Amino acid sequence: GQQVMQIPQYQHVQEGEDFTTYCNSSTTLSNIQWYKQRPGGHPVFLIQLVKSGEVKKQKRLTFQFGEAKKNSSLHITATQTTDVGTYFCAGESGTYKYIFGTGTRLKVLA
Amino acid sequence: NAGVTQTPKFRVLKTGQSMTLLCAQDMNHEYMYWYRQDPGMGLRLIHYSVGEGTTAKGEVPDGYNVSRLKKQNFLLGLESAAPSQTSVYFCASSYGNSPLHFGNGTRLTVT
């Protein structure tokens, strides 16, 4: 079945440093979504990527979808303490069944 | 506008007991999902539904049953709870290829 792997599992950075998490799917995806979950909270939607090679930006966050539509990345420039949380990718292969990656827990040290 | 509401918020069960988790959404979404979240495992899909009266298995369906009798409700049942089912359960809904809207979760402990 479809599997979605995400690395790294944990990342500790100093405030102001950059951060990147990578997502890889075992199957070609129709689209990929990214979510953020704060400690004790529920996942909150950040963005959706649909097209091969697509790049989207939200302020300090940059999202990319690979050319083969099997991988994606989230890059945060100059992290802030408000960026703390776990970031998940979720891939869909045309069946409306969203499979989540294992997540990357980000800790930002002030 | 409540969004996605899960009840109960917390529950403690003894091994072998049964219970039903309720998810209700007021956004007229067609698609609804049940996930479980365990430390280091991310969110794993248990069952999902693409419309009223239809359900399908996800990644980890064993030990769970679901029903979608009404469009706005998606029920998750545990017939005979096991300690391995201790987890945080999240319900989500969407229009399809659109953002998933999550409830606040149900924390279940099975002793």
Write down the pLDDT at residue B40: 77
| Distance of alpha carbon B61 from alpha carbon A11, whole angstroms | 31
| Distance of alpha carbon A85 from alpha carbon A77, whole angstroms | 15
Task: Tell me what the mean pLDDT of segment B44-71 comes to.
Answer: 96
What average pLDDT does chain B have? 96
Residue A107 has pLDDT above 90, yes or no: yes
Residue B101 has pLDDT above 90, yes or no: yes
In order of A13, B20, B86, the CA distances from B81 in angstroms are 40, 11, 9
**Chain A residue numbers touching B90 (CB-CB < 8 A):** 42-43
In order of A3, A94, A102, B25, B102, the CA distances from A29 in angstroms are 11, 7, 17, 27, 22
Length of chain A: 110
Write down the pLDDT at residue B59: 93
- The alpha carbon of residue B30 is apart from the nearest alpha carbon of chain A, in Å, by 11
The answer to whether the CB atoms of A102 and B50 lie below 8 A apart is no
Q: How confident is the model at residue B1 (pLDDT cuts 50, 70, 90)?
A: low
Task: Tell me what the mean pLDDT of segment B22-30 comes to.
Answer: 97
Q: How confident is the model at residue B41 (pLDDT cuts 50, 70, 90)?
A: confident
**Chain A residue numbers touching B56 (CB-CB < 8 A):** 97
Q: Tell me: the pLDDT tens digits for A29-66?
A: 999 999 999 999 999 999 999 999 999 999 999 999 99
Query: What percentage of chain A reaches a pLDDT higher than 70?
Result: 100
- The alpha carbon of residue B55 is apart from the nearest alpha carbon of chain A, in Å, by 11
Q: Tell me: the pLDDT tens digits for B61-99?
A: 999 999 999 999 999 999 999 999 999 999 999 997 899
Write down the pLDDT at residue A95: 81
Task: Tell me what the mean pLDDT of segment B22-46 comes to.
Answer: 94
Q: Which of A27, A97, A104, A105 is the best substitution to test chain B (most B C-beta atoms within 10 A)?
A: A97
Query: What percentage of chain B reaches a pLDDT higher than 90?
Result: 92
Which residue, among B60, B53, B63, has the nearest Cα to B19 in the 3D structure? B63
Sign of the CA dihedral running B58, B14, B82, B63: negative
